[in-house]
Amino acid sequence: SQTIHQWPATLVQPVGSPLSLECTVEGTSNPNLYWYRQAAGRGLQLLFYSVGIGQISSEVPQNLSASRPQDRQFILSSKKLLLSDSGFYLCAWSGGTSYNEQFFGPGTRLTVL
Amino acid sequence: AQSVTQLGSHVSVSEGALVLLRCNYSSSVPPYLFWYVQYPNQGLQLLLKYTSAATLVKGINGFEAEFKKSETSFHLTKPSAHMSDAAEYFCAVRQQAGTALIFGKGTTLSVSS
């Protein structure tokens, strides 16, 4: 069966520090991968999605970036965090035999102070 | 472009009462529709999905939803609420396989004893 991992689970970072969040998927190949951010009362905002290694589409201009160095690895990064980057970050995948729905990871709670 | 509107950011019911969470979509083509549930500090879990088969879709935990094309709605219901149903619920739409889901802003369900 397929599983999706995210780490770290929680993170507290100062303003201006770098960021690296990692997401990995097991049990499937060539998945579509997604990063969402969830801020209080604002629903889920799609940040990036990827249909293959090195292929990244950005949905919202911001100081975040994403990379996909391996088929089942998706990384969210920032060179300098802003207060507004605080939130709950969710990674998701779709593909394989369940091509319609997306499956979500457990999330990373980021607090920028 | 497709979109999803969830009516009511907060719904409160008593234990044993009917649960009704409303979702309306906008789509120029037959959509794929989904309901997800999120418990505090966790990822999203798929409750049910509509992919142009039966219009009444049954999901996990006793939830079901009915696709009504004439009303562009996909409301989520459960005949009898349990305390464990207290969570945030998201409706989502996707117009074609492989594209990212578009989420509504979510509805928080509270269940009182």
Residue pLDDT, tens place only, B57-79: 999 999 999 999 999 999 999 99
| A8 preceded by a cis bond (ω within 30 of 0) | yes
pLDDT band (50, 70, 90) for residue A6: very high
Question: What pLDDT, on the 0 to 100 scale, is given for residue B62?
Answer: 96
| Contact residues, chain A to chain B, C-beta under 8 Å | 32, 34, 36, 41-44, 46, 49, 51, 59, 88, 90, 92, 94, 99-107, 109
* CA–CA separation, A105 and A110 (whole Å): 15
Q: What is the pLDDT of residue B32?
A: 87
Answer for the pair B99, B1: CB distance below 8 angstroms, yes or no.
no
Count of all residues that appear for chain A in the document: 113
Beta bridge partners of B22: B7
Subunit contact B41:A88, Cβ cutoff 8 A: yes
Three-state SS letters, A4-46 = EEEECCEEEECCCCCEEEEEEEECCCCCEEEEEEECCCCCEEE
Token pair, residue A16, equals 């201006």
pLDDT band (50, 70, 90) for residue B1: confident
A92: which chain B residues are within 8 Å (Cβ-Cβ)? 44
Length of chain B: 113
pLDDT at B48 over 90: yes
